[in-house]
Amino acid sequence: MDIRQLRENIRNFRLDDGDLGSQGYTRVLLQLFGYTGHGKSSFINSCMYVLEEGENFKEHAEARETDYGLTMVRNAYPLTDVITMVDNRGCSKMNDFERAEVYAQLGNFIPIGERVEWKDKFSDLMKAIENTELEPNFSDFIVPIFVYSVRHQISAGEKEDVKTFMENCVKMTGIVPIIVLTFKTKGDYLEIEKRFRLMGAETVIAIENYTPESHIKTLGRTTDILMVIDSALRNVRFRLEQPRNPKRERIERKKFMYNYIYQIELHREREKPEREKPEREKHERERMRVQLQQIQHLQESQRRSDCAIL
């Protein structure tokens, strides 16, 4: 498929093209996730650029090529009148709270345009989810996309986090996340691709983003970026070949969130005695130190008393 055909397929995509129609969906939401500084915002700029004619590059999403991400607000960027790309807040360390917030973004339980704050209480996250019931969104068809820079080596901790994230994406959306490997020429992307496939990835596409400094369109770079969007739409077409119920699916995502939070809280409660053990030992050492000082003080007083008697 050449560039013109890819571009036209994306521009002309409609949710009601299949035999079962749109089934209640009105928009495809391409949800971008990943660690901070891995190129999500740059990827959005590249996607918008390759769908346009000419070489007038614009930075729609502010991007920075560092390990510190800029995205704090869950921003949306329309690619067509049907397809929208969402730049979700990236993670830095993926602790329990960040993981829960990631799934809240994935499930559309944090409104687009709202600042994403890493909460330190699960009760706050539960309230935020409940607040979305005031204006529930049933009509977005969610496609997860995970962005990872090949300049980084996947650590053991990241491997476990990403594998679990991919599995949970399937539970929440029915789609295995599309893996986008950025900075294609800056590392061994074939080795990174192999690792993601071993984790269960079905579609892995390595790209080189366009930037203000490097924006001359080339056949290879443009094709790679268009293929990511095309792969997402093929997933949508496949899922729409089967009967879907958007309202029921949102309810199931909400159940997943509540169960996920409950399991984390349960795990934290079970680990609580072990976490508190060092603190208890610290208090015990301090108590013994005070007792030892008291004994020494008594011994010294007794010694002085004995000397006075002598």
How much is the pLDDT for 66? 42
Residues 232 and 84: beta-carbon distance below 8 Å: no
Residue 306, class by beta-carbon neighbours within 10 Å (0-12 exposed, 13-18 middle, 19+ buried)? exposed
Q: Computed over its alpha carbons, how large is the radius of gyration of the chain?
A: 26
| Angle between helix 96-106 and helix 122-131 axes, rounded to 10 deg | 10
Name every residue whose Cβ is closer than 8 Å to that of residue 134 and which is 6 or more positions away in sequence. Answer: none
Q: Which domains does the chain have, with CATH numbers?
A: 3-262 (3.40.50.300)
How much is the pLDDT for 248? 93
What DSSP element (H or E) covers 195?
A: helix 189-198
How much is the pLDDT for 143? 97
Strand, helix or coil at 85? strand
Below-50 pLDDT ranges, the chain: 65-71, 118, 306, 309-310
What DSSP element (H or E) covers 50?
A: helix 40-50
* Cα separation, 296 vs 290, whole angstroms: 10
Residue 58, Cβ neighbours under 10 Å: how many?
11
Residues 207 and 46: beta-carbon distance below 8 Å: yes
DSSP state of 176: P
How much is the pLDDT for 77? 94
How much is the pLDDT for 69? 46
Q: Give me the sign of the Cα torsion angle 128, 39, 94, 106.
A: positive
Kindly report, residue by residue over 240-282, the tens digit of the pLDDT: 999 999 999 999 998 998 888 888 878 777 776 655 566 666 7
How much is the pLDDT for 202? 96
How much is the pLDDT for 186? 93
How much is the pLDDT for 71? 47
How much is the pLDDT for 140? 94
Q: Give me the sign of the Cα torsion angle 26, 30, 33, 36.
A: negative
For the chain, helix (H) and strand (E) counts, in that order, are 8, 6
How much is the pLDDT for 229? 98
Kindly report, residue by residue over 60-106, the tens digit of the pLDDT: 887 654 434 444 678 899 999 999 999 987 776 666 777 888 888 89
Own/partner long-range contacts of 189-192 (Cβ < 8 Å, ≥24 apart) = 189/150, 192/148, 192/150, 192/154
| pTM: predicted TM-score of the whole model, two decimal places | 0.81
